[in-house]
Amino acid sequence: MPNLLQGKCALILGVANKWSLAYAIGEAFRREGASLVLTYQGERQRDAVETCAAELGASRLLACDVSKDHELEQLSEALKAAPGRLDAVVHSIAFANREELGNSFLETSRAGYLMAQEISAYSLVAVARAVAPLMGGGGSITTLTYIGSVRVIQNYNVMGVAKAALESAVRYLANDLGPRGIRVNAISAGPIKTASARAIKDFSSILDIVATRAPLRHNTEPGEVGDAALFLASDLGRGVTGNVLYVDSGFHIMGF
C-alpha cells in the first residue's frame, strides 16, 4: 500500500542519530511520499542531524530546543514561510537528569522533577500550540511514550511520572484540537537500544525479558514504530485520536 503520505508534509522533532525512533519514523514517512522537515536540539547535534536529514531526503532542517519559547516561535514562523502547512507532526523527545534515573524515585529532586516534566511532557503542549495554526483543515500529532507511565519499571522513576503527564496531555490536546480536525495520539514503544536507552543499567536484560515473555516473542524494532506512526499520520488513522497505541510485541497485556 504505497504512497500513504503522498503530497503531505511532516515535521519530525527528536532525530539525534540514525538509531533514534524519530529517524525510523522519518524513513517510513519518506517511503510513503511525505516531504520532511526535521529539527535539531542545538549546535552540538547539528552536524549529526544534518547527515540524517540528507539520508532521509528532508527538505528543511531547523533548530528547536523545546525548552525555549523563542525557539518554538521561530520554528512556527519558519514553517509559515515554508512549507506553509503541515499534515503531520512527530514529537519524539524526552529528557531527565541522569542521576534521577539511578537513585530511587523517593530521592527525586524538585529541579529534576520539573526538568523531566518540562522537556518530556510540557513540550508536547508547547509544540502543539506552535504547529496547530499550520494544520488548517486537519492533521495529526504523534508522540512517543513508554509503559513506565502506568507500571513501575526499575530506574524509570521521574520519567515514568513525566510520561503519565504526557499521556494525559495527549487526551486533553485531542479534546481541544479535535474540532479543528487535528488528531493527537501516542505510541508506547517497547524497549529499543537508542542513545536514550543505551546507557541504562541492565538494559540488555530488559530486552531479554521482553523477547522471552511478550506474546510475539521478539523485541520491538524501530521499523515497527515507524509503520505505526505512519498509520496514525495517514488517512488510515482518521478515526483515531486521544489514543495510546502499544507497539511492544504485546508485552503490556501480560501479568507475570
| Residues designated catalytic | 146, 156
Nearer to ligand NAD, 92 or 241 (CB): 92
142 binds ligand NAD (CB under 6 A): no
Nearer to ligand IMJ, 61 or 197 (CB): 197
> Which positions lie near ligand IMJ, rule CB under 6 A?
94-96, 98, 101, 146, 153, 155-156, 159, 191, 196-197, 199-200, 206
Question: Per the structure block, which three cell numbers stand in for 80?
Answer: 509559515
- Reading across the β-sheet that carries 182-189, which strands appear in turn? 60-63, 35-40, 9-13, 88-91, 139-145, 182-189, 244-247
Nearer to ligand IMJ, 81 or 199 (CB): 199
* Segment holding 11, helix H or strand E: strand 9-13
- Minimum Å distance from CB 19 to ligand IMJ? 12
Among 9, 192, 228, 232, indicate the residue that binds ligand NAD (CB under 6 A).
192
* Helix residue spans in 41-141 (DSSP H): 43-56, 69-81, 110-117, 123-131
Residue 136 DSSP symbol: T
Amino acid at position 183, single letter: R
Nearer to ligand IMJ, 134 or 158 (CB): 158
- CA torsion sign, 131 to 132 to 138 to 141? positive
- CA torsion sign, 55 to 57 to 59 to 64? negative
Among 95, 126, 150, 165, indicate the residue that binds ligand NAD (CB under 6 A).
95
174 binds ligand NAD (CB under 6 A): no
Which residues lie near ligand NAD (CB under 6 A)?
Answer: 14-16, 20-22, 41, 45, 65-67, 92-95, 119, 144-146, 189, 191-192, 194-197
